[in-house]
Amino acid sequence: MRVFLGLVALATSCAVAVPSAFKTKEEIYAPRGWVKKTRPAPDHSIALRIGLPQPNFSLLEKQLYEVSDPDHERYGQHLSKEEVEDLVSPHPQSLNAVDEWLAGFGLGEKDLVRSPAKDWVIITVPVSVAEDMLDTKYHVWEHTESGDQLVRTTSYRLPSHLHEHIEVIQPTTMFGRFKGYKSTIYNIEEIPEVTTQQASAKAASFNALSGVTVDPSCNTTVTISCLKQLYNAVGYEASPDPRNSIGITGYLEQFANIQDLQSFYAEQRPDALNSTFDFIPIKGGLNNQTLSEAGAEANLDVQFAFGVSHPIPATFFSTAGRPPFKPDLITTSNTNEPYGDWVDFVLGMKNPPLTISTSYGDDEQTVPEAYARRVCASFAQLGARGVSLLFSSGDNGVGDGNSNPATQKCITNDGKNTTQFIPAFPASCPYVTAVGGTAHIPEVAVSRFFSGGGFSNYFPRPLYQEIAVRKYLKNLPKGTYKGLFNPAGRAYPDVSALSDRYRIWLSGRPVLIGGTSASSPAVAGFVALLNDARFKAHKKSLGFLNPLLYTYGLPGFNDITSGNNAGCGTTGFNATAGWDPVTGLGTPNFFKLKSIVTSPFTIL
């Protein structure tokens, strides 16, 4: 490190090019709940992720919509990795301008990591160097409620000639904590060991919304067989087709415990016993198989997603570098900026999993808009390549991420301190499928915690949901929540599924767990089964789902019309007939969806 710093000093003093004057690139108000503490140690290392503009992104977006639109002749003709990379690659002038700027700090090609499309450059430098580059001062910030700490700044500047060549640099102003969406209101419930739920068929079964018969135990304990009954998938057998795949993303140093998975399979999916999944660590993601250290989120996601979709090939990604961390330690790999690390890795894969579920996110306003757009644009790249991305919609209804709804302040951090509903990101990204939560049979919107839902303040409403969302808004009494939400924004969730009282195995024992954390992997499991059916019908993977779901897909959902998603001191929105910002289009009916996605769309 000492040698490196010497080089920097030398390079700067010999710099020939006269840099243009610094101009503010981004300036924010720190989100509420964060307190500025000390300065980080000057040699605390920070991995700066520099986003170069993608001048042809609109072409990529156009193609994403073409290959995802069931009425378009290109439907299903997904783009290759190289085609996508060409469409997001920066202009050579931008590459040169950034390279020159970095060279001024002694940083050459060997010090850089580039994304496959070269639209991101990552450099790891001491915080003191980052401060010179960005004409800023970093501080350690602490999140009062959780104690999480981040090294961040509230503004940064760049030489003015670079503004057109650099879209965003992080971590600078991003205060997102990337929390798991496992409800924190509903503590994990210990339960006595009981025999498998499947044995209780003697008790009178009853009808779900879809008219299928469901075991009564499913009203209080959700198992794989409950989901298969309720979502009409009983009897469907998937193949271990090597073309198909499903993935789960893990963060916060969580790993999925294999012994717990086997206990779960023994109880709920005996034919899956002894099967496992590929573990892919990103940036040194942990996989400590110590039973007592298994992650509740990781175990839940893996057990239900892979349990529903068995024997489809499965992958678990564990991305390291999550808060909480110790900002006074001089780490070299801790970027604290997980979306980018994960998405770069997956975009670099030749064959990424075709269905990927993520049960993490945070308040949209804690992720700076320019950065949220870039992350969302990366999700568009995966969609164009035929990957279906599902994200939990969050567990705090229309409210903010404070775990206690009584302390939800729902105040903007735009400096105006306006009271507003607080949407969640990445659920608010228009290129992903956001999954909300239901409970009980017949299903209603979950009320033990509240299904995240609402309207983005960053992303406008995409065309695919125009009809559905406009109908919902038209039926809202005039003036409802005026000023509290952005009626023109991307509305979510798109779909939903049971989210409460899932029976999983954790650290060697069965527990009940809830959250939209459960509904996203459950839906992902069924999407993977739909891809199985597509492959058997000699069709391509489903890819980005929403344009299909809001059109031909509609008859494949059970409409949830009861319940609401309280937050911010209000009762939130109501589940209604048709799409609503609580349960989306509703919960899946697998066999109906299967017949929709395996037939020519025009005759349905």
Ligand X SMILES: *[C@@H]1O[C@H](CO)[C@@H](O)[C@H](O)[C@H]1NC(C)=O
* 211 in a labelled binding site: no
Which pair of structure tokens corresponds to residue 497? 């599924």
Q: Is 119 annotated as a binding residue?
A: no
Q: Is 389 helix (H, G, I), strand (E, B) or coil?
A: strand
**CA dihedral of residues 571, 424, 315, 494 (deg, nearest 10):** 60
Question: Under the rule (CB under 6 A), what is the footprint of ligand X?
Answer: 55-56, 89, 91, 206, 219, 273-274, 288, 290, 293, 416-417, 440-441, 476, 480, 573-574
CA distances 50 to 169, 377, 542, Å, are 5, 15, 32
Please report, for residues 163, 269, 343, 414, the alpha-carbon distance to residue 307 in angstroms, rounded to integers and kept in the order given.
48, 6, 25, 43
- In the three-class reduction of DSSP (H, G, I as helix; E, B as strand; rest coil), residue 280 is classed as strand
Verify whether residue 428 is a known catalytic residue. Answer: no
**340 annotated to bind ligand:** no
State the Cα–Cα distance between residues 362 and 267, nearest whole angstrom. Answer: 34
Residue 71 or 271: the one with the smaller Cβ distance to ligand X is 271
Cβ of 16: how many Cβ atoms within 10 Å? 5
Nearer to ligand X, 81 or 440 (CB): 440
d(C-alpha 449, C-alpha 459), whole Å? 26
Rounded to an integer, what is the distance from CA 129 to the centroid of its chain? 32
Q: If DSSP codes are grouped into helix, strand and coil, which group holds residue 413? A: coil
**Residue of 429, 420, 415 lying closest to 400 (CA atoms):** 420
C-beta of 115 vs 541, nearer to ligand X: 115
- The answer on whether 86 is annotated among ligand-binding residues is no
Is 297 marked active-site? yes
Active site residue 301: yes
Do residues 354 and 246 make contact, with C-beta atoms less than 8 angstroms apart? yes
The total number of residues written for the chain in this structure: 604
Report in angstroms how near the CB of residue 419 gets to ligand X at its nearest. 11
Kindly provide the residue ranges of all beta strands, DSSP E only, lying in 11-129, ordered along the sequence.
22-27, 34-36, 45-51, 112-114, 120-126
Q: Could you say which of 131, 301, 362, 532 is catalytic?
A: 301
Q: How far is the CB of 402 from ligand X (least distance, A)?
A: 15
Q: How far is the CB of 597 from ligand X (least distance, A)?
A: 30
Cβ atoms of 230 and 560 within 8 Å: the answer is no
Which one of 517, 519, 520, 541 is the catalytic residue? 517
Nearer to ligand X, 19 or 578 (CB): 578
Nearer of residues 223 and 357 to ligand X, judged by Cβ: 223
Q: Cβ of 205: how many Cβ atoms within 10 Å?
A: 16
Q: Side chain identity at 326, as an amino acid letter? A: K
- Contact call for residues 181 and 360 (beta carbons, < 8 A): yes
Residue closer to ligand X by CB (options 19, 324) is 324
- Which is the catalytic residue, given 297, 494, 500, 532? 297
Q: Which residues belong to the annotated binding site for Ca(2+)?
A: 559-560, 578, 580
> Which residues are the active-site residues?
297, 301, 517
Q: Which residues belong to the annotated binding site?
A: 559-560, 578, 580
